[in-house]
Amino acid sequence: MHPAFSVIFLTTLIGAGQGLFLALYTAQVYSTVELLPVPPSHFYVQGSAIALALLIGGLVASFFHLGHPERAWRSAARWRTSWLSREVIVLPALMGAVAVYGVVHHLNLRLKDLGFATSVDGDLALVVGAAAVALAFLLFLCTGMIYACIKFLQEWASWLTVVNYTLFGLASGFLLATAYAAYQAPALVYFFGAWTVIITLAVWVTRAASLIRNRRLKYKSTIQTAIGVRHARIVQKSQGFMGGSFNTRDFFHGAAPWLFRSIKWVFLVLVFPVPLVLLFNGMVDRSVPMLSSAFVIQYLGLLAERWYFFAQANHPQNIYYQTIS
Amino acid sequence: MIQLALVIDLNVCVGCHACVTSCKEWNTSGEAGYMSDDRPYGEDPTGNFFNRVQTFEVGEFPNTETVHFPKSCLHCEDPPCVPVCPTGASYKRPEDGIVLVDYDKCIGCKYCAWACPYGVREIDEHQKVMKKCTLCVDRIYDKSLPQAERKPACVMACPTNARLFGDVHDPDSEVSVAISENGGYALMPEWGTKPANHYLPRRKTRIKIHDDELMRADNPLKKEGVRPKPDVHEPSLDDVTSW
Ligand code: SF4
Ligand code: SF4
């Protein structure tokens, strides 16, 4: 497939936004049960604002993918059958929930303001946050399933796609949370950092698993099934036109083989070992620049990862578009 | 339930592209138009087509066969392109099984094209909506046309009659009979899309002639039999020599 930058930015930005929000909420839960020191409330307010900004950035990027962005509202119509439609509903819902979460922290609203008094600090934020957590995971599911549900794009049609989308988003969000905590709430740096390491190692394993799976794929569609002729040697002599078409542009990545192969190594280096080393040093030194550069470098790696994710997928329609002549 | 479809006879198609041009001509000026082209006479032309004729070579020289292969939307009975559409712009008509795109609803997200294994949907780069074969839905029900012309433009144009049009759910229709009598098949059956359009395979017409059909064993005058060769010393061409 041809990697579209709008979709690459959409999926990486919202992934980081979802991950950052989930990191904030995890910290709040831990500090509620007194496993962590309680950070100042502006930590959550500004953190939610950053998460919201990332989600909005992703949404804006997605509009560049559409031929008719002014009609985008229509895409909520088919949520019963379409994962894309579901994503279109869940993303704004999550944005709303994250915004409310931030506002609740900012105004320090409590459940007793709504008439249910509890003894838990930040109870309303916990409730709103729980809803947002559900939406964030639902959004990971929707984003992953958009790709995983197309069964003949065999590189994508696997539960690993959903797992990888989820874990990549969490890794990048927790890494951002680590850098942000080093700046705003140093007591939480090790908490976020440790989770970042765990998640990054986990997604290293699952992404490697999907790379191995894709290398061993056996394609179900062949030129024989495509035209229905049973012969061992069939070659296309003409695709029917001399110039290009949508089918020759949108389904081929068009990169040179060496570039295609090297992008894989670029992301394998930039997403996993480099950020982990920077993260480790950054945690030890409490260095905001070091942790921030870990996040930025991993984000660049994730852009390469997403590019590779698209480029590697082989659409069966490509069988019909092999030869110009 | 009616399922309109095309049946394309690969045994007959000569790869002339008449259906391609006829389709483009009808549809660019019809309700599904226009179908934009860019740089049609330039170095790198590109454009929007609903139907393409491709050519494949089967076998190895000198034993090769050239197969011309027209391809347009197959109006699948279980179309994977329809449920993925977030707006409902892509839909399958219950009354005749034609898969259509509502241009006023389409947001141009291209997801349906990803979800079609056959590569027959093409985005219109100028109108920014998804386009594909409509089975000439604006022709086949047009009461102002004579009955014989209420067919897709490609079917009308085909000089060799390689394209048949009809209801594949009616077992007695011309298309159903053609499919069942000539081994009609669907493309990429592995994805369970159940394409409505079918293809008829290459067929060879051969007759087997046995020796005894060439030479009559009971020939009374032995007219065709092997004649005994007379000895050189024997007299020839007189009334005692019997051939
Ligand atoms: S051929 Fe493609 S576009 Fe046409 S109905 Fe089937 S899946 Fe949809
Ligand atoms: S491009 Fe149009 S028809 Fe296709 S899935 Fe998107 S909205 Fe639906």
DSSP state for residue A187 in the 8-state scheme: G
- Banded pLDDT at A286 (limits 50, 70, 90): confident
Instruction: Identify which of B63, B49, B51 has the alpha carbon closest to the alpha carbon of residue B8.
Output: B51
Q: So what's the pLDDT on residue A114?
A: 86
Backbone angles phi, psi at B165, to 5 degrees: -135, 135
Nearest ligand (C-alpha, residue B110): 2
Smallest Cα distance from A256 to chain B, Å = 20
Q: So what's the pLDDT on residue B243?
A: 45
Q: So what's the pLDDT on residue B220?
A: 63
A222 lies in a domain?
no
Q: So what's the pLDDT on residue A1?
A: 94
Nearest to B67 among A85, A229, A245 (CB): A229
Instruction: Specify the range with the lowest mean pLDDT, choosing from A169-183, A286-300, B201-215, B220-234.
Output: B220-234
Asked if pLDDT for residue B229 goes beyond 80, the answer is no
B97 lies in a domain?
yes
Neighbours of B9 (CB within 10 A): 22
Q: How many domains does chain B have?
A: 1
What is the Cβ-side half-sphere exposure of residue B77, based on CA atoms within 13 angstroms? 17
B220 lies in a domain?
no
Residue-wise pLDDT for A45-91, tens only, equals 999 999 999 999 999 999 999 999 999 999 999 999 999 999 999 99
Smallest Cα distance from B229 to chain A, Å = 51
- A190 alpha carbon to ligand 2 midpoint, in Å? 46
Q: So what's the pLDDT on residue B30?
A: 82
B213 lies in a domain?
no
CATH number of residue B127's parent domain: 3.30.70.20
Q: For chain B, give the mean pLDDT.
A: 91
Q: Evaluate: CB of B106 within 6 angstroms of ligand 2.
A: yes
B222 lies in a domain?
no
Domain of B152 in residue numbering reads as 4-200
Q: So what's the pLDDT on residue B222?
A: 60
Cis check: omega of the bond before B189, within 30 degrees of 0? no
Q: So what's the pLDDT on residue A192?
A: 97
A264 lies in a domain?
yes
A232 lies in a domain?
no
Instruction: Please check whether residue A283 is in contact with residue B87, taking contact to mean a CB–CB distance below 8 angstroms.
Output: no
Residue numbers in A near B189 (CB within 8 A): 225
Domain of A248 in residue numbering reads as 5-216+238-321
Please tell me whether the interface predicted TM-score (ipTM) of this complex is above 0.85. Answer: yes
Give the C-alpha distances (Å, rounded to integers) separating B219 from B211, B214, B223, B226: 14, 12, 7, 11
B208 lies in a domain?
no
Q: How many domains does chain A have?
A: 1
B240 lies in a domain?
no
Residue numbers in A near B204 (CB within 8 A): none
B241 lies in a domain?
no
Average pLDDT over residues B104-123: 96
What is the residue with the minimal CA distance to atom 2 of ligand 1? B116
CATH number of residue A174's parent domain: 1.20.1630.10
Cα A129 versus chain centre, distance? 20
Distance CA A129, CA B151 (A): 59
